Amino acid sequence: MPTIIKGNPEVQELPAEREYSVTRGWRTVRRFRGSRQAIDDFIPVALQDGSSIRVQPGDDGVSTLEVWFDDAQDGSSVDAEAQITTTWSVNSNDLEKDLFTHAKFASLVEADQQALRDLRESKIGIADAPSTGDAAEFANLIIAGVTGYTISQIVLRRTKLISSVAAIYAVNANANKRYTRAGLIAAEGIPLAVRAEMPGAGQWLARTGQKEQLGSGKYQVTQEWWHADSWSPLIYTLVA
């Protein structure tokens, strides 16, 4: 039997319909039926809690209002926290680095390093450039106009899909701070399968989090940590 909405006898609530998916959690559509004017008057009330609505006018002067909610709407213990879907992924990020930061440049003797710097600054000509070994290879790159090289950096990403009422925020307290591998695992509870993809050496730099509203009424919260052999201890504080 339809439920009479308290305070508005002209609006009746029809049986609700619920759905659940692992990516979106619970969603409930509650339907209300009444005169067009009564439904129009009821819309502001529905919008206070619902994530989206739809009005279907009928030919008989009666309208049906559908209101979508991002929970089960049944008084159960299924709360916003239980609807959080967390996805971990290991991605890559391409970085352009200066040619002279390469490990092979650092292994050259000081005289060759200085000659290559002078070559790039046009202080010496091609005839005076190093002509043997790795130094010659660097000289050829400089002559060809190459100033840098690309490396692929490991990026650890956590994506949370949450209800519109969940109190989840992009965590920025440690943004631009560095973690050890063990420290990051302990702080974020990274799953074992993901840990296997994390290098044993190096450090992880926390990036600024992002929160995005989706068309479904959900929110997506994304956090990233970028790996490098080392991050400057002068610039980036180590998270204890």
Quick: pLDDT tens for 118-127. 999 999 999 9
Range of the domain at 13: 3-69
Per-residue pLDDT tens for 115-155? 999 999 999 999 999 999 999 999 999 999 999 999 899 99
| pTM attached to this predicted model | 0.59
The answer to whether residues 25 and 114 belong to one domain is no
The answer to whether residues 157 and 220 belong to one domain is yes
- Range scoring the smallest mean pLDDT among 56-65, 185-194, 212-221: 212-221
The answer to whether residues 48 and 112 belong to one domain is no
User: Residue 86: is its pLDDT beyond 90?
Assistant: no
Domain end residue (candidates: 133, 150, 167): 150
The answer to whether residues 130 and 177 belong to one domain is no
The answer to whether residues 186 and 85 belong to one domain is yes
Per-residue pLDDT tens for 31-41? 898 988 888 88
The answer to whether residues 174 and 188 belong to one domain is yes
Q: Bigger pLDDT: 206 or 75?
A: 206
User: Residue 69: is its pLDDT beyond 80?
Assistant: no
The number of distinct structural domains making up the chain is: 3
Considering the domain boundaries, does residue 140 fall inside one?
yes
The answer to whether residues 90 and 127 belong to one domain is no
Burial (CB count within 10 angstroms: exposed 0-12, middle 13-18, buried 19+), residue 9 = exposed
The answer to whether residues 86 and 111 belong to one domain is no
Considering the domain boundaries, does residue 233 fall inside one?
no
The answer to whether residues 212 and 160 belong to one domain is yes
Per-residue pLDDT tens for 3-16? 444 445 578 888 88
The answer to whether residues 136 and 164 belong to one domain is no
How far apart CA 164 and CA 185 sit, in angstroms, is: 28
How far apart CA 218 and CA 29 sit, in angstroms, is: 15
Measured at the alpha carbon of residue 99, what is the angle toward residues 97 and 102, in degrees to the nearest 5? 85
The answer to whether residues 139 and 30 belong to one domain is no
The answer to whether residues 203 and 85 belong to one domain is yes
User: Residue 214: is its pLDDT beyond 50?
Assistant: yes
* Rounded average pLDDT over 18-41: 80
Sign of CA dihedral 193, 190, 216, 14: positive
